[in-house]
Amino acid sequence: MKKYFLIGFLLLVASCSGVTGTGNPTPIVNRPAASSPSDETGDVQSTAPNAGRATATLQPASGSTVEGQLEFIEQGGVVTIRGTIRNLTPGPHAFHIHETGDCSAPDASSAGPHFNPTAMPHGDPAHEAHHAGDFGNITADERGEALVNATTTSITLLAGPASVIGRAVIVHENVDDLVSQPAGNAGARIACGVIKW
Ligand code: CU
Ligand code: ZN
C-alpha cells in the first residue's frame, strides 16, 4: 500500500516539473514578453484585463518620403508609445494623434483635428491643459531619424472615450509651438498612420 502512495507522489512531482505545466497549480505571472506565442492557452499576458498592444505604420503625406513604425502598449492605465520615424528633415517635428483614422487624402487632412475627447485647448502634454492627442515634438537626428519613446495617461487602447484605436498618428513638417490654437502652428502633415490592434 505504501508503495502506491510513493508512486503517486513521484508522479505528482513529475507532472509539476513538466515543461507543459499540465496540472501545475502555480499561476504564471510576469511572464517575459519574449515568451513564445505558441504557449498553451492560459497565457495571462495577452488577456490581462488592463493590458493591450497596438501598432501604427506611418506612410508619407504631402509629397514627403517620411515613414515609420510605432508600437503602443497599455498596461495598468499607462500607454507607452515606441518606435522610429525616418526621412525627416533634422530637428523637431510636431507629433499628434488626430481624431479620424483616415490617411487617404494626399495631405492627410482626412485625419481631421487633434484627438480631443476632454474638450481642452491645444497645448503642452507636460501641462494640465492639452488635447489627449498632443505629444509635443519628436526630434530627428542628422540622418533624419527620430526615436519615439513616450508614456502617457491621457489616452487608452482599451475601449472608452480616450481610446485611440482606429485614430491616426500624424507627423508635421514644422515644430509644434505648444501654444497656438488649434494645432500648434505645425504646418503640413507629412506622415500619417492608423492605430490598429
Ligand atoms: Cu497634428
Ligand atoms: Zn492639439
Q: How far is the CA of 187 from the centre of ligand 1 (A)?
A: 9
Q: How many CA atoms lie within 13 A of 3 on its CB side?
A: 0
Percent of the chain predicted with pLDDT > 70: 75
Q: How far is the CA of 132 from the centre of ligand 2 (A)?
A: 8
From residue 156, give the alpha-carbon distance in Å to each of 39, 49, 62, 185.
27, 13, 29, 26
Say if residue 113's pLDDT is above 60. yes
Instruction: Please count the other Cβ atoms lying within 10 Å of the Cβ belonging to residue 169.
Output: 30
Say if residue 94's pLDDT is above 60. yes
Domain ranges of the chain: 63-196
Say if residue 83's pLDDT is above 80. yes
Short-list 96, 105, 88, CA closest to 182: 96
Say if residue 14's pLDDT is above 90. no
User: Rounded to an integer, what is the distance from CA 89 to the centroid of its chain?
Assistant: 24
- Residue 40 near residue 55 (C-beta atoms within 8 A): no
Q: How far is the CA of 138 from the centre of ligand 1 (A)?
A: 12
Burial 62-87, CB ≥16 within 10 A → b, else e:
bebebbbebebbbeeeebebebebbb
| Overall pTM > 0.75 | no
| Residue whose C-alpha cell is 508609445 | 81
Helix, strand or coil, per DSSP, at residue 104: coil
CATH superfamily of 63-196: Superoxide dismutase, copper/zinc binding domain (2.60.40.200)
**pLDDT, tens only, 136-166:** 999 999 999 999 999 999 999 999 999 999 9
What does the alpha-carbon distance between residue 93 and residue 100 come to, in Å, rounded to a whole number?
Answer: 20
| Residue whose C-alpha cell is 505571472 | 29
Region 101-128: mean pLDDT is: 97
Q: How far is the CA of 163 from the centre of ligand 2 (A)?
A: 16
Residues with Cβ within 8 Å of residue 123, at least 6 apart in sequence: 129, 130, 131, 134, 178, 179
In the sheet that holds 51-60, the strands lie side by side as 134-140, 91-98, 168-172, 189-196, 51-60, 67-75, 78-86, 146-152
Q: How far is the CA of 7 from the centre of ligand 1 (A)?
A: 68
pLDDT at 49: 60
